[in-house]
Amino acid sequence: MIDDFNLNFSLPGHFNGVLSTITFLDVADVLIVAALIYKTYAALQDTRAITLAKGLLVFLGLRAFSALLNLHVVEWLLDKMISVFWVAIPIIFQPELRRALERLGQGSLWGKRSFLNKEEAKSVVNELVKAVHTLSGTKTGALLVIERNMGLKDIANTGIRIDGLITADFLLNVFIVNTPLHDGAAIIRGKRLIAAGCLLPLTEKSDLTTELGTRHRAAIGLSEQCDALIVIVSEETGTISVAEDGHIYRHFNAETLRAKLKPAFDAPPTTFKDMWQNWRRKL
């Protein structure tokens, strides 16, 4: 009884002793790992890779369970399969790994993106909204790709280089029905249309509604591979949609589209308060 009392009495002292060994670097270390795990999960969420990752976790769980029960033959077999998985994992997750490396190498870390001032950004957004609203009213199919941090030179090279200032009339002429540029995508960089008639990669998602045609699947496919914002106008219904980060959002009107497009042309936050608020909005 006395020993139990002494043990219970000494627990707070041991707890305080553990706390006294924790430094700022230890806390930062844990936070960095937590952030990396969160970012990895966010990148894999709603992709085929998340299913593969869950399967891999089940496999590792079986390996630990077999070791716990001393199932030596099963444990040996699973160990051999794990050795094969170390080679297979880079192949299985190749699209996700490539996307992550592209975002790291071409992202805002290197300051590649050029931003417009407030008046230029407002003007470009208004012209885009005006053009898209008109295309929607006439049920003219269109794909507008807005480049952000990741460069789209390889996509632009699949079409016809133009390099013209963005105006509503100019965009309407690009998407005239039965012209060579109508069926492809227009690439927008800042206040200029750099190419049109471009080809986009189709998504491999199999759970999309049948209402989404080739334009929508192409927009989702590109958004899975880069950080571009893609505006789609349906040729059948005139519905305005936006694809971003592998997801598609539908039924935009002029005001909601303007609100969606504005951040794509805004300059990055300069103060810690602005960066904090911008990060919270993305959660």
What digits encode the pLDDT tens for the residues 126-181?
999 999 999 999 999 999 999 987 778 888 989 999 989 999 999 999 999 888 88
At residue 259, the pLDDT reads 94
46-84 pLDDT tens trace: 555 666 677 778 878 888 888 888 888 888 888 888 777
At residue 195, the pLDDT reads 94
- C-alpha 243: how far from chain center: 10
95 or 119, which is more confident?
Answer: 119
193, 166 Cβ separation under 8 angstroms? yes
Q: Is the pLDDT of residue 184 over 70?
A: yes
Grouping H, G, I as helix, E, B as strand and the rest as coil, residue 228 is coil
Name beta bridge partners: 99: none
Q: Considering only CA atoms, which of 129, 156, 122, 155 is closest in space to residue 242?
A: 129
Domains along the chain with CATH numbers = 2-108 (no CATH), 118-266 (3.40.1700.10)
Q: Is the pLDDT of residue 103 over 50?
A: yes
Q: Is the pLDDT of residue 282 over 50?
A: no
44, 53 Cβ separation under 8 angstroms? yes
Q: Model-level pTM? A: 0.63
The rounded distance, in Å, linking the Cα atoms of 134 and 217 is 22
At residue 280, the pLDDT reads 46
Q: Is the pLDDT of residue 88 over 60?
A: yes
116, 190 Cβ separation under 8 angstroms? yes
Q: Considering only CA atoms, which of 231, 145, 141, 132 is closest in space to residue 188?
A: 145
Candidate ranges 37-46, 85-94, 216-225, 264-273; pick with highest mean pLDDT: 216-225
Q: Is the pLDDT of residue 2 over 50?
A: no
The rounded distance, in Å, linking the Cα atoms of 121 and 129 is 12
